[in-house]
Structure 1
């Protein structure tokens, strides 16, 4: 297949590009920077310089592809609603391009979402691929509709494409990257001199390795049933207190429980995410695609996560 990947030089996107190339596919990768273009060349992909705001470019490039994998997102959380509108416009452009290419469900569109958008706020609830977006949550209300924009392209009148949604867990981890919520915990620990958790810390986050996620994107593009939703987590839920403890030990820092104003001051914008529960099953995904995660667990990956956080902190201190 000729595969068009947005966000091709990102933390997960780089792994996705490598996965498709290793399976013998041709990859066109979108990059907004010259350094990204050079990175894609080095990987063996065909670089395309541009941004996801350029919907005409997205549509015309998708029209030359057999599959489009959408990973890019504008990570400006001060303009989150606008970023989500950009996301929906990009998905629409990619879908339209694939429809123009013809072939119906022989063309694949796979877009990225998150398991956090399904969180109910009730501790211990196990979510699965059929769990709905919680539109009472402002963040889910803004980002969640992107899933339906994608899934609508599975309808015959909209092109009948082989479309699917991959929901990444809040901790998508691996070397040389932020690693989602775990990376934020490590960054804050380095900045504040202590590794903390909120309250009893017994809330859980689902987790998965980015290389396992990359395989899932490929399998979805190759053989998903149109209209599917998949979960990219290998672990249903890792106790946040255990994660904060592992990070603190790796950094040689004290480990503390914080609540109320102390937690708000310590975590800032990350105070609420630090306290939420996201326990998620991926069994439907594994059964449907034969996807079997094989990489290290989150706690096993803590040394690599901390090493990256320290590297970033040292680079910032040197400026």
Structure 2
């Protein structure tokens, strides 16, 4: 079975490529750079040169594969409108190729914004629809193609997919602590983030490809909620810095753009996903990863 993976050299994508190759799949990864192409070929994967704006390349990748796993995103926090536009166009392009084929299309989404005052679940529909919405509303766009002969599955990731080498949200919090001399949390620190280890996320993606029914929403979540105060205290210990409360109105000024997310409760459950896929997260917890020291190397 041949799989086309976008974001194949990224944080989650590279682990997913390893997981798929280990399971015997033929993988072709979208490669934006020479370095990405070299890395993919070294793993035993094929490389298709292009990026999210190269719709002809995306059509080719989707046309030649038995399944598509879309993990790429521009993540341009300075121009979210452009990121959302590119995401919408890329997903629409690949869905149009797959229409009527009954081939799997798994795409990255997130748990953010699904619920308020409680952990989100797989039963919560995404509130983001239309080209101007977060990620271009592509989760709902993809699920609309269930009735058009595409085996669409939403991969909703925890806000932190952690592990050695992570350059995501936790690394931004570490950078803010280094820059300000304190490790901060917002308000009383009671808001929490769901978390998952990178290896567990990659395993869930493979199992989703193999087992998830059409139209499924899967949660890549290993821990339902890790409080912002716990995260800040772990960062403080790692950098030998004091832990302090930051007023909600000062969060963006103190943390940068990540302050908008650190102020939110982004807790989430994966109990439905675990039962559906017979998936049990086995990797280190976020606290264990932070205590390992990997986030605090110079």
User: Which category describes the TM-score, using the shorter chain as reference length?
Assistant: over 0.9
Contact 1:69 1:110 in 2 (8 A): yes
Q: 2:181 aligns with which of 180, 183, 193?
A: 193
User: Match of 2:21?
Assistant: 21
User: Match of 1:111?
Assistant: 107
User: Match of 2:57?
Assistant: 57
> Residue 33 of structure 1: CA displacement?
0.7
Please show how residues 242-253 of structure 1 align to structure 2 within 5 Å.
Answer: 242-253=230-241
In 2, distance between residues paired with 1:55 and 1:117?
29
Q: 2:165 aligns with which of 168, 171, 176?
A: 176
TM-score (norm 1): 0.88
Q: Give ranges in structure 1 of 5+ residues lacking alignment.
A: 312-319
> Residue 223 of structure 1: CA displacement?
2.1
Q: 1:258 aligns with which of 223, 230, 246?
A: 246
| Distance change (3 Å), C-alpha of 1:139 and 1:67 | closer
User: Match of 1:128?
Assistant: 121
- Cα deviation code 1:143-197 (max 9, x no counterpart): 2620011112211xx2x1221000001011111122x332221121122221111
Please show how residues 158-173 of structure 1 align to structure 2 within 5 Å.
Answer: 158=148, 160-173=149-162
Please show how residues 35-114 of structure 1 align to structure 2 within 5 Å.
Answer: 35-99=35-99, 104-105=101-102, 107-114=103-110
Equivalent residue pairs, number: 298
User: Match of 1:241?
Assistant: 229
> Residue 135 of structure 1: CA displacement?
4.6
User: Match of 1:296?
Assistant: 284
Please show how residues 272-311 of structure 1 align to structure 2 within 5 Å.
Answer: 272-304=260-292, 307-308=294-295, 310-311=297-298
- Cα deviation code 1:216-264 (max 9, x no counterpart): 1111112211111110001110111011101110111111112155544
In 1, distance between residues paired with 2:131 and 2:282?
31
| Distance change (3 Å), C-alpha of 1:135 and 1:69 | closer
| Larger CA deviation: 280-289 vs 251-260 | 251-260
Contact 1:187 1:309 in 2 (8 A): no
> Residue 268 of structure 1: CA displacement?
2.5
Contact 1:133 1:144 in 2 (8 A): no
Q: Which of structure 1's runs of 4+ aligned residues deviate more than 6 A? A: none
> Residue 207 of structure 1: CA displacement?
0.5
SS for the counterpart of 1:58 is helix
SS for the counterpart of 1:177 is coil
In 2, distance between residues paired with 1:303 and 1:265?
27
SS for the counterpart of 1:117 is coil
- Cα deviation code 1:111-151 (max 9, x no counterpart): 0000013143x3xx121011133459x99933262001111
> Residue 40 of structure 1: CA displacement?
0.7
Contact 1:67 1:109 in 2 (8 A): yes
Contact 2:193 2:267 in 1 (8 A): yes
In 2, distance between residues paired with 1:211 and 1:3?
19
Contact 1:66 1:98 in 2 (8 A): no
Aligned-CA RMSD value: 2.1
